[in-house]
Amino acid sequence: MSQSTFIVAKFGGTSVADFDAMSRSADIVLSHPDVKLVVLSASASITNILVELASGQETARRAFLLDEVRRIQYAIVDNLRSAEVVRDEIDRILESITTLSEAASLATSLALTDELVSHGELMSTLLFTELIREREVAVKWFDVRKVMRTSDRFGSAEPELKTVGELATHYLAPLLNDNLVITQGFIGSEEKGRTTTLGRGGSDYTAALLGEALHAGRIDIWTDVTGIFSTDPRVVPTAKRIAEISFEEAAEMATFGAKVLHPATLLPAVRNNIPVFVGSSKAPNDGGTFVYPETNEKPLFRALTLRRRQTLLTLHSLKMLHARGFLAEVFAVLARHHISVDLITTSEVSIALTLDTTDTSGQARGLLTQALLTELSALCRVEVEEDLSLVALIGNQLSQSPGVGKEVFGVLSPFNLRLICYGASEHNLCFLLPSKDAEAAVQTLHRHLFE
């Protein structure tokens, strides 16, 4: 399968932000004849606006946000040759956004949010398809919801792999023989046909899932950075690009907040040994990072990641003292409420854990529903802390190498670390600290470990 030369190329929001960005992305697609399938995000900032509309806005704010969406997309339409035809299609989508936004101002729901935000990817793919058509290339727009079957967990739906494979083979594969196909990242549909989303940043995941379903030979992620760096270059401008990185390391980076890849992106790649390339659509000739099953080099320290807006839940119970089954009870409650636990440490009488918060509505608080807190409070005393950030050091054999603790925590002595996890994985060491200190901690660590 991995001998296949067929490439799935994904372009993120900044790569389809405006007409110039879309044109650059089109150049990239057309200069890579093996790219048969293109997966797109919504134009930059569109998803944020749609999420805000979906949270229910009063009339004036709604009008302002709708104008913003119209302005961003019309600016692209205006540059197309068949502007009038495309404008009609965009207008129909804008009308639907208007109706759904009005509905959201009366009552919000996760299903409505997904339906509303899906319009971002529908618009960007329509515009991009038209732009490619103008280059006289056989191109087809494809509604990914026909094949991306997911659970009905709106906001962070899970793909149903077997069905996605079957549907993609049936509906999508035949189109690739004679056309370049343009489709949406991030969105899917559940059994009854209602629109779902894979969580913020989910387009990377879509590209990998379709790559898996169609046996791609490579997945290219085109974004606004020239690859995966030793840390977020926005936080540390001197961060260094990584030329080659292993699946395991890259997966850890994505899981722990390196936004350049959605956390689940590497799963389909790992299952099928499909290499992933990450590069910048602004500088396609500057190279990028290759993610391979294995790399020759396995540095002790590979990268630092930062994940903001973490919620720490501390559960205190004397029942835990010399008792059995308390942890099982707590996890059963969390599982019933679909809470995915991220980090955990326990003591004799308490558990501290952080929650995963990558769903489309993006509200960490939203996960901690009153029903969940009530159920937990029946078991133990519950404390909730916010404004925390998670920093992870990613590397190899971290837990088997002497001196790592001293090297890392020595440097971090000025900071108040709220929780530390070390030892469960040989690939990471991570800690939680107040958000106001997080960037400084990453900068300090980067200077000492990577420069």
Binding-site residues for substrate, in ranges, read 47, 121
Closer Cβ to ligand ADP, 90 or 228, answer by number: 228
- Residue 224 interacts with ligand ADP (CB under 6 A): yes or no: yes
Cβ density class 14-38: b for 16+ within 10 Å, e for less = bbbbebebbebbbebbeeeeebbbb
Closer Cβ to ligand ASP, 155 or 202, answer by number: 202
DSSP-assigned beta bridge partners for residue 313: 353, 384
Token representation of residue 109: 């729901």
For strands 288-292 and 341-346, give the pairing. unpaired
Residue 374 burial class via C-beta count within 10 angstroms: exposed 0-12, middle 13-18, buried 19 and up: exposed
Task: Name which position in 159, 188, 202, 279 contacts ligand ASP (CB under 6 A).
Answer: 202
- Kindly identify the residues of this chain, within the stretch 46-85, that bind ligand ASP according to CB under 6 A: 47
Token representation of residue 186: 């991030």
Residue 363 DSSP class: -
Closer Cβ to ligand ADP, 223 or 295, answer by number: 223
- Residue 279 interacts with Mg ion (CB under 5 A): yes or no: no
- Residue 201 interacts with Mg ion (CB under 5 A): yes or no: yes
Report the candidate in 283, 287, 339 with the shortest Cα–Cα distance to residue 313. 339
What are the binding residues for ATP? 10-13, 223-224, 234, 259-260
Closer Cβ to ligand ASP, 198 or 433, answer by number: 198
Cα 70 from Cα 77, distance rounded (Å): 10
Min dist CB 12 to ligand ADP, Å, is 2
Q: Rounded to an integer, what is the distance from CA 120 to the centroid of its chain? A: 16
Min dist CB 83 to ligand ADP, Å, is 26
- Kindly identify the residues of this chain, within the stretch 169-198, that bind ligand ASP according to CB under 6 A: 185-186
Closer Cβ to ligand ASP, 13 or 159, answer by number: 13
- Residue 38 interacts with ligand ASP (CB under 6 A): yes or no: no
Token representation of residue 157: 């739906």
- Residue 41 interacts with ligand ASP (CB under 6 A): yes or no: yes
Task: Name which position in 225, 313, 339, 367 contacts ligand ADP (CB under 6 A).
Answer: 225
Neighbours of 386 (CB within 10 A): 12
| The residue type at 341 | V
- Residue 12 interacts with ligand ADP (CB under 6 A): yes or no: yes
Q: Where do contacts with ligand ADP occur on this chain (CB under 6 A)?
A: 12-15, 41, 201, 223-225, 228-229, 231-234, 258-260, 303
